[in-house]
A and B are shown apart, each in its own frame.
Chain A
Amino acid sequence: MKVNLKSSSFTRNIRKAAYFFLIPSLIYYVTVWVYPLFRNIQISFLKYNFIDAPKFVMFDNYINLFKDKYFWNALKNTFAYTGIVVPILLISAFLVALLLNEIARGRRFFSTIIFITTSFSMVAVAIIFRLMFVTEFGVINMWLVNIFGMQPVGWLTDSRIALYTVAITGIWKELGWFMMIYLAAIQNVDVTLIEAAKIDGANAVQIIKNVTIPQLKPVILLTTIVAIILELQVFAQSYIMTGGGPSRSTETIVYYIYKAAFRSFDAGYASAMSLILFIIIFIITVIQLRVFRTEN
């Protein structure tokens, strides 16, 4: 017996199945993403504490935000953090991946060691680094004092330094992940191109600059976008390592959103802040895509 796959009852069944299979994802995306997105916009125009009846206040939340020096401070800290972390994170991950790709023996071993940090949750990493960087008697300062004869550094107690310590923590946690992405991408680079370049007498640096990197452009763009989005949302380190201090020097925007929404229960204010951060992320991403497109 032969069944005609193009027959109408057959295709109708298949189409029905497609819509049926889409139901779970539709339910999920509508309830967990689409509705909350619009609701967030709505809440940002309300004075609302999750319990009492909300009051419509127009642009009050936004106006208050622009007058709030702690909001600007949090924004500044978040950008400073992202500005420190993203370049160091991506460039060192890329360099390590390049180096690992050059060696045959031990590549697996060393990549595993570097990648293992990824299995540590941000909370665990923050707990560990908080204790490593204790000002008095912490292991880092003990080495600095006893081996290099330096003064103890206020890693988490000096408001000029704490943000850098928080940044070091973030870099350590995420480096292995990006290194692995780059390593996978580098190994996918067309070998024949590299061989051809070698025959033409190109040295290692020339090959990397003229063959490897151009081929990796899509990955580099993608990782840059992902890293910036990720770092702009830094939260756990502030919560665990410093509580935003000293003197609000490590208070990031998401931490400030958390405090506004879930400690002061000012949902409208927090929603307005969330929306502003989202718009910032959106603009940065679009600019990156544009720059990338014009370059090609």
Chain B
Amino acid sequence: MLLFFFAIPVLFIFYYSLGYKPDIFHTIATDNLSLGRYSESFSETFRSVFTGTLQISLIGTTLCLLIGFPFAYWLAVRVPPKWRGVLLGLTIVPFWTNFLVRTLGWLILLQPNGPLSGSMQAIGLISNPLQVLDTRSAVQLGVVYNYLPLMIFPLFVALDRLDPALREASKDLGANRWRTFRQVTLPLAMPGVVAGLLLVFIPLTGDYITASVLGGAKGNMVGALVASQFNTAQNWALGSAMAVILIFMILGSVAIFGGLGLIARTLIRRARRVELVPEPA
């Protein structure tokens, strides 16, 4: 079934991306295949959307990791086990709330005359009404919020599996807190970090719903371009070409960062003469 409803349809996109839009009444023609749609996609206007999307998703993924890691660590290690189930349950509630609805929550919060703006003015944090909506910052905030749970869960699982005895052993061997974290906890949590990064980065790059709710015209993501080519402009060939570029943008980023990660790991391994850490599974 995956083959029939996934592989073949996606191959069609590649095929359609080589086609063109014959006239205003038809969406696609493939009798004259060319790479013309790709050069169209790389024109000035569209290119800025591609780089903008990549920027938002890279910053967003990094922020998710920076916010999610201490939180997952706290939840998995420092919270008394008695409370852990309840708190983890609470973390799941936003995940189970419709993500469009959560985004609407931010839409209300960030209104220039909304609650956040009002309370920030009241305590003197800002003097003028909040002007965040329809900017890149709003989009950035929205995506970090929406994809944070996807970062927390795998991190939690990885840190939760980590035997506390390992950290104590490290302490007993004279390592200070920072060193224990760097050489025991972090390497062992690495599978969770990688899973979280992938789980956040991939859907975030393709997402355009959050951006179009909070960012207005400024929140133009590649996904929105593809969608508008299919829904409004009815130019399926151009839309398909953009979709193909999006796929390669994601695969390319994953490959580049995966490669960089591997190189970094090798370098660190080489720099340490004594391997203190057991191999992560």
Q: Do A and B truly interact?
A: no
Interface residues of B (CB under 8 A from A): none
Interface residues of A (CB under 8 A from B): none
